[in-house]
Amino acid sequence: MWWNTSAMLRSIRTGFILTALTAVMFSSVLAQNEKPILGVLEDSPGHNSDAPNYRSVRVLFYYDAHEWKAYPTECAKLSCLQSATPSLTPEVIWTIGLDGRSLGKLTTQLLERPDQTLWGQFPVDSKSAASIGKPTLEFAGWMGGPVLRPLVLNSRPFVGDPERWKPSTVSGADAAKLRLAFKRKYPMLTSCENMDAKQYADADIRVAKAYRSKRGWQVVQLAVKGCAPDDERGDELSMEWYVVSPDGRVRYLDSNMHLVDAGDYDNDGKSELIFSIDDYNRGGYKLFYNDFKQKAVFEFSYH
């Protein structure tokens, strides 16, 4: 039997083309199905007074079954992170986000270096890591020392902010409702120097920061010069966060944290908010989503 060489070559070429197209389509499907992983690019004080600050990636949250979940905080190895998300590879190409825009990419190797990792931290080259602004104490946390602001990292290219969260002012009506909610939670305060609890005026409660989305949601940081009666450390109530819904309902959100950024990190059309934890002997991050009905918490103690 004689083979038709031309027909055979055409068949082989067609097979190669179909195989290549199938591979591209399969890779595209894998990319579309890849679940987002969130981290932060951090600046941390050196481990002693003479050591310089160091940059690192801290791996925080992963998206699974329509929920955000926190990685185990004790993870100091890639294998530990992979116990939660087996698809996580040593090399991750992150998209760096801030204020709804991309600041570029950062490629990291999540190597097995337990001697240099701490609560999900993986060191990166400071020269290759993006930075915004100058070091301040805002995100210094319990360890203290000026640091650069953290930047959110997404393993998927989702960092846009469709809800357009921006700094804002608070209306008089909303301010009155916020102060009422604050006084319901803290009807009495101490001077922080002694434990004698006393009443205080509405005017003593100030709006420290406020942010609003285009849908009308607000998050507001309230502060007062005073301490809760059961606080034995004497920490002023300076980071009390409340959320105001578009229809004006106010509820307590959380305390002792700073807003890091907002973004639609799972690409569902709604923005999530990430806060850093700033509390006594506690650090980490909190992710609020689904109109503040749900949250994921990555939290650790320093000792």
Residue 90 has pLDDT above 50, yes or no: yes
* Inter-residue contact 85 to 61 (CB < 8 Å): no
Average pLDDT estimate for 47-69: 88
Residue 77 has pLDDT above 80, yes or no: no
Average pLDDT estimate for 205-226: 98
Q: What is the pLDDT of residue 232?
A: 84
H or E element: which one contains 144? none
Q: What residues form DSSP beta bridges with 289?
A: 294
pLDDT confidence band for 79 (50 / 70 / 90): confident
Domain boundaries, the chain: 35-154, 166-263
* Residue 117 phi, psi dihedral angles, 5° rounding: -115, 150
Q: What is the pLDDT of residue 117?
A: 54
* Two structure tokens written together for 298: 């990555």
- Residue reference for tokens 């579309």: 32
Domain 166-263 falls under CATH 3.20.20? no
Q: What residues form DSSP beta bridges with 209?
A: 221
Average pLDDT estimate for 159-170: 98
Q: What is the pLDDT of residue 303?
A: 77
* Residue 200 phi, psi dihedral angles, 5° rounding: -145, 165
In the chain, pLDDT over 70 holds for what percent of residues? 85
H or E element: which one contains 22? helix 5-33
Average pLDDT estimate for 48-67: 87
Name the residue among 261, 209, 43 with its Cα closest to residue 135. Answer: 43
